[in-house]
Amino acid sequence: MRLGGKRALVTGGSDGIGLAIAEAFLREGADVLIVGRDGKKLDAARKQLGDNVDTLSADLSASAGIDAVVEHARRGPPVDILVNNAGVAFLVPFETVSEDQFQQSFALNVTAVFFLTQRLLPHLAPGAASVINISSYFAHKMIPKRPSSLYSLSKGALNSLTKSLAFELGPRGIRVNAIAPGTVDTAMRRRSIENLPEAAQAELKAYVERSYPLGRIGWTSDLAGIAVYLASDEAA
């Protein structure tokens, strides 16, 4: 088991990409804490993953939620793996983006990553921790008829944070990387796509099938392997 004896914290771990990563970490022997806002989703995740997973309900878009996660994490041994996966995607035209949507996007996609990592820094395993940020291919790749100004902006900021933290924390032996998937079939994606007109949805589906070599969008399980690798000593 490549992650035996390691302690992992996965935000947004109750469904989608986070759940797939948590499942892979457990399979590789890690002790896993998943954090999510929705208690019912966390309960469902626990039923799927088994009693070996630890869960915590917290809203990371608020400082109180970050405080709760940090306090919970400090009760146990050092955290070897931090996966900053919690995020939100508002795929709405630039001219209709509201201030509330803007604030929510940065609160969860950027601010939460910044301050959760900062606050957990004293509790990350010295000389061996791995921080993995879940970014997006769409920080720099745009698709016609798919408005992503706000989402791309927030993920671009996350990319910059990842690169700068890699240099700041690298001398301490803490690795910082990002996984930037393309289109992945998650509940969040399905919700965002449902907001587009039917014609735009059909055009987007056809575009994806033409663009990806496999002729399909990604599955959450596609991302689990690279997360395990980056979390493991193989990625030292």
Radius of gyration of the chain (CA): 17
Cα–Cα dist 170/149, whole Å: 31
Under 8 Å between Cβ of 45 and 57 = no
How many helices (H) and strands (E) in the chain? Answer: 9, 6
Under 8 Å between Cβ of 61 and 115 = no
Identify residue 218 by its one-letter amino acid code. G
Under 8 Å between Cβ of 133 and 161 = yes
Q: Any idea which residues carry the catalytic annotation?
A: 151
